Amino acid sequence: MTKYNISRMRNNKLVYGLFISAASVLGIIIIALLIFVSQQGLQTFRDVNPLEFFFSSNWSPSEGSFGALSFIIGSLAVTLFSILVGGPLGVLGAIFLAKLAPRWMRTIMQPAINLYMAIPSVVYGFIGITVIVPAVRHIFGVSGGFGIFTASFILAIMILPTVISISADALSAVPPALEEGSIALGATYWQTIWHIALPTALPGIITGVVLGMARAIGETMAVQMVIGNTPQMAKSLFSPTSTLPSEIVVEMGNTPFGSAWGNSLFLMALVLLIISMLMIAIVRKISTYKAVKI
Amino acid sequence: MRNSLKKTGLLAMALVLGMSIFAGCGGSQDKKAATNTPAKVEGKITASGSTALLPLLKVGQEEFYKLHDKVTINLSGGGSFTGQKQVASGAVNIGNSDVGLAADLKDKGIVGHDLVGIPFVFIVNKDVAIDNLSTQQYVDIMTGKITNWQDVGGKDQKITIIHRAKSSGSRATIETVVLKGQEFTNDAVIQDSNGAVRSAIATTPGAIGYVDAAYVDASVKALKFNGTAYSIQAVSDGKYPVYTTGKMFTKGEATGAVKAFIDYVTSAEFQNKNVESQGFIPITKLPKK
């Protein structure tokens, strides 16, 4: 009996150590990545004025101009437009999925949405460049078809599964007693969804929307294939421009590591990382907030 | 942090070593078949840089192993500027580059060895009703002065420029050879490889751009340059100026195995056999400057 207990305790310790080391490896990797990216990125400021980097859109590294404003604006613009389209669409889809869809439809749609999330972004980009870009050209009569509109359109589709699945989970988690109470008081089904389910699930829905935005701003491949990647401010939704990730991926292959040019790409990566981390921080803040006291 | 970097570095080195052992084995087996063995050289060669030159050098590496089984060659890409920087800092023995030496490396005692001519061809979407442009017309289009095909004799259609990023060696070549230092307009679509440029031009009406000559195919239309279509003969005769010389840079004069490898890939034997099939121009056929 005692022997058994000792070996069990030893096993416990072993497994405990395993978990601890797994967790610390995870932590170390994230911290190492942060340190490395900031170390390389911040070295840019030895050669480049921060004001120039953030407030000029003149990007000619071979002439010593490192203005990244057009990339930052490009990133923010595609994220904003994609969430304007994808956000409402995703929330409506989540309401349907969680509250209105018959059971058989739900059993088909739930795995379908997960599958949707697993589509590699290069597939979206490929369809974008072969189908959406020519379609935009024909429908709007523009010459190229590359630009913020096309990129946002593809991103809106890409972020849908994130928005839908997280919002649907939040809506499903609304206590049935609340809804039943509302219906018992004579409210219609729609009134119940609008006044009870939605406000109760709001923190979850906002989490879904913000995570969707985080996915949109970091998306590289699909955007790179359709945005045009040119370092200029977008004059319209249909003129080619660039985003932070697309500029990094286009330039990194030929940019010497450790040069001002290479460092400035790391600085862009750092800016992206900070924006994403802010979004995660917002999500954490929101998820602890309860809209309706139960 | 430093440590973890070192560790990944070690791991990468172990991997490379492991692979080079395999490569070495392959070489030694072929060696038995080779009859005439020139002077014995041994050692390790590291080379990085231009991805355009990489396929050719891979062929060179395999052929070279047949003659010298005691030499290990590690080839990697990274881009022309990376190759130049790494050879200057001593990180690699050879820096391959399809652009001229960067200004800040000129006083570092770096020696260039001409490897091949790399020709470029301007291509347009098939619906562009033009098959020749003059140098001045190319300059006006690429700098954004002309934005409609009717200004150069085509139909009323907007010109869409599709080409490479500012860090690209191909772009640097066109900027030097055709634009003579003037800047490209930023109003263009950028793709990150020859293949991507070609497919974007093939699907975009009114598009123009340039690719390595090896990438021209039936999906796009190749333009003449001042009335001359690209051919190796046209380059030799000095009629087609849109090419650059791919170089192998070494720090100081090359010695030992490095010299043997450079001598081998620039030899007439290797050049005549492999260079044209890879879409390049043998150095012997470049016009004398």
Task: Give, in order, the Cα–Cα distances in Å from B66 to each of A123, B23, B54, B264.
Answer: 42, 11, 19, 12
Q: For residue A230, which residues of chain B lie inside 8 Å, CB to CB?
A: 186-190
**Same domain for A270 and A188:** yes
The confidence band for B146, taking pLDDT boundaries of 50, 70 and 90, is: very high
A15-38 tens-digit pLDDT: 888 999 999 999 999 999 999 999
**Same domain for B123 and B112:** no
One DSSP character per residue, B248-281 reads EEEESS--HHHHHHHHHHTSHHHHHHHTGGGT-E
Please determine, for residue B288, whether its predicted confidence score (pLDDT) is greater than 80: no
- Mean pLDDT computed over B31-38: 43
**Same domain for A283 and A234:** yes
Please give, rounded to a whole number of angstroms, the shortest distance from the CA of B160 to a CA of chain A: 7
What pLDDT, on the 0 to 100 scale, is given for residue B35? 42
**Same domain for A108 and A161:** yes
The confidence band for B9, taking pLDDT boundaries of 50, 70 and 90, is: low
Please determine, for residue B281, whether its predicted confidence score (pLDDT) is greater than 80: yes
What pLDDT, on the 0 to 100 scale, is given for residue A293? 53
The confidence band for A76, taking pLDDT boundaries of 50, 70 and 90, is: very high
**Same domain for A274 and A251:** yes
Please determine, for residue B137, whether its predicted confidence score (pLDDT) is greater than 90: yes
Q: Does B166 touch chain A (CB under 8 A)?
A: yes
Task: For residue A228, give the chain B residue with the closest CA.
Answer: B189
The confidence band for B192, taking pLDDT boundaries of 50, 70 and 90, is: confident
**Rounded mean pLDDT of chain B?**
83
Q: How far is CA A76 from the centre of its chain?
A: 12
Parent domain of B260:
43-117+244-285
What pLDDT, on the 0 to 100 scale, is given for residue A291? 54
* Chain A interface residues (partner B, CB cutoff 8 A): 28, 32, 35-36, 59-62, 129-130, 133-134, 137, 143-146, 224, 228-232, 239-240, 242, 249-251, 253-259, 261
Q: How far is CA A37 from the centre of its chain?
A: 20
**Same domain for A80 and A19:** no
What pLDDT, on the 0 to 100 scale, is given for residue A292? 53
Please determine, for residue A141, whether its predicted confidence score (pLDDT) is greater than 60: yes
Which of B51, B165, B206 is opposite residue A229, by nearest beta carbon?
A: B165
pTM summary value = 0.77
The confidence band for B24, taking pLDDT boundaries of 50, 70 and 90, is: very low
Q: From the CB of residue B58, how many other CB atoms can be counted at a distance below 10 Å?
A: 13
A213: its two tokens: 């935005």
Query: Which domain-ending residue is among A11, A27, A46?
Result: A46
CA atoms within 13 A on the CB side of A117: 14
Q: What is the interface size between A and B, counted as CB pairs within 8 Å? A: 92
Q: Residue B168: inside a domain, yes or no?
A: yes
A225: its two tokens: 């294939």
Domain CATH for A240? 1.10.3720.10
What pLDDT, on the 0 to 100 scale, is given for residue B273? 86
The confidence band for B19, taking pLDDT boundaries of 50, 70 and 90, is: very low
Please determine, for residue A268, whether its predicted confidence score (pLDDT) is greater than 60: yes
- Mean pLDDT computed over A184-191: 90
With an 8 Å Cβ cutoff, are A134 and B203 in contact?
yes
Q: How far is CA A92 from the centre of its chain?
A: 19
* Residue entry with tokens 């991997």: B15
Looking at the structure of chain A, the number of domains it has is 2
**Same domain for A149 and A58:** yes
Looking at the structure of chain B, the number of domains it has is 2
Domain CATH for B271? 3.40.190.10
Lowest mean pLDDT among B17-21, B180-184, B230-234, B266-270: B17-21
**Same domain for A122 and A42:** no
**Same domain for B98 and B48:** yes
**Same domain for B224 and B125:** yes
With an 8 Å Cβ cutoff, are A255 and B79 in contact?
yes
What pLDDT, on the 0 to 100 scale, is given for residue A153? 94
Residue A245's H or E segment, with its range, is helix A244-251
What pLDDT, on the 0 to 100 scale, is given for residue B28? 40
Residue A182's H or E segment, with its range, is helix A176-184
What pLDDT, on the 0 to 100 scale, is given for residue B7? 52
**Same domain for A162 and A279:** yes
**Same domain for B214 and B225:** yes
With an 8 Å Cβ cutoff, are A28 and B191 in contact?
no
Cβ atoms of residues B249 and B111 within 8 Å: yes
- Best of B176, B192, B197 to disrupt the A interface (most A CBs within 10 Å) is B192
Q: For residue B165, which residues of chain A lie inside 8 Å, CB to CB?
A: 229, 250-251, 254
A17: its two tokens: 């150590």
The confidence band for B33, taking pLDDT boundaries of 50, 70 and 90, is: very low
Please give, rounded to a whole number of angstroms, the shortest distance from the CA of A240 to a CA of chain B: 6
Q: From the CB of residue B197, how many other CB atoms can be counted at a distance below 10 Å?
A: 26
**Same domain for B223 and B124:** yes
Query: Which domain-ending residue is among A11, A29, A46?
Result: A46
Cβ atoms of residues A228 and A241 within 8 Å: yes
Q: Which of residues 229-288 of B touch A (CB under 8 A)?
A: none
**Same domain for B143 and B232:** yes
**Same domain for B124 and B264:** no
**Same domain for B207 and B65:** no
Percent of chain A at pLDDT above 90? 44
Please give, rounded to a whole number of angstroms, the shortest distance from the CA of A165 to a CA of chain B: 34
A53-67 tens-digit pLDDT: 899 888 888 788 888
What pLDDT, on the 0 to 100 scale, is given for residue B20? 44
Q: Residue B11: inside a domain, yes or no?
A: no
**Same domain for A265 and A228:** yes
Cα–Cα distance for residue pair A108/A115, rounded to 1 Å:
11
Per DSSP, helices labelled H in chain B are 2-31, 54-67, 80-89, 135-142, 169-177, 194-203, 232-236, 256-265, 268-274
**Same domain for A164 and A38:** no
Cα–Cα distance for residue pair B282/B246, rounded to 1 Å:
10
Please give, rounded to a whole number of angstroms, the shortest distance from the CA of B192 to a CA of chain A: 5
What pLDDT, on the 0 to 100 scale, is given for residue B148? 92
**Same domain for B124 and B87:** no
Q: For residue B158, which residues of chain A lie inside 8 Å, CB to CB?
A: 143
What pLDDT, on the 0 to 100 scale, is given for residue B12? 53
- Mean pLDDT computed over B34-62: 78
Burial class from Cβ neighbours inside 10 Å (0-12, 13-18, 19+) for residue A184 reads exposed
With an 8 Å Cβ cutoff, are A230 and B81 in contact?
no
Q: Residue B12: inside a domain, yes or no?
A: no
A163-183 tens-digit pLDDT: 999 999 999 999 989 989 999
With an 8 Å Cβ cutoff, are B82 and A134 in contact?
no
**Same domain for B179 and B260:** no
**Same domain for A22 and A108:** no
With an 8 Å Cβ cutoff, are A133 and B203 in contact?
yes
**Same domain for A96 and A32:** no
Q: Residue B79: inside a domain, yes or no?
A: yes
- Mean pLDDT computed over B60-68: 88
Parent domain of A41:
3-46
**Same domain for B96 and B193:** no
Please give, rounded to a whole number of angstroms, the shortest distance from the CA of A36 to a CA of chain B: 8
In degrees rounded to 5, what are phi and psi of residue B209? -170, -170
With an 8 Å Cβ cutoff, are A230 and B189 in contact?
yes
Percent of chain A at pLDDT above 70? 97
Task: For residue B207, give the chain A residue with the closest CA.
Answer: A144
Q: Residue B2: inside a domain, yes or no?
A: no
Please determine, for residue A114, whether its predicted confidence score (pLDDT) is greater than 50: yes
Which of B158, B165, B191 is opposite residue A143, by nearest beta carbon?
A: B158
- Mean pLDDT computed over B222-251: 91
**Same domain for B188 and B51:** no
Please give, rounded to a whole number of angstroms, the shortest distance from the CA of A246 to a CA of chain B: 10
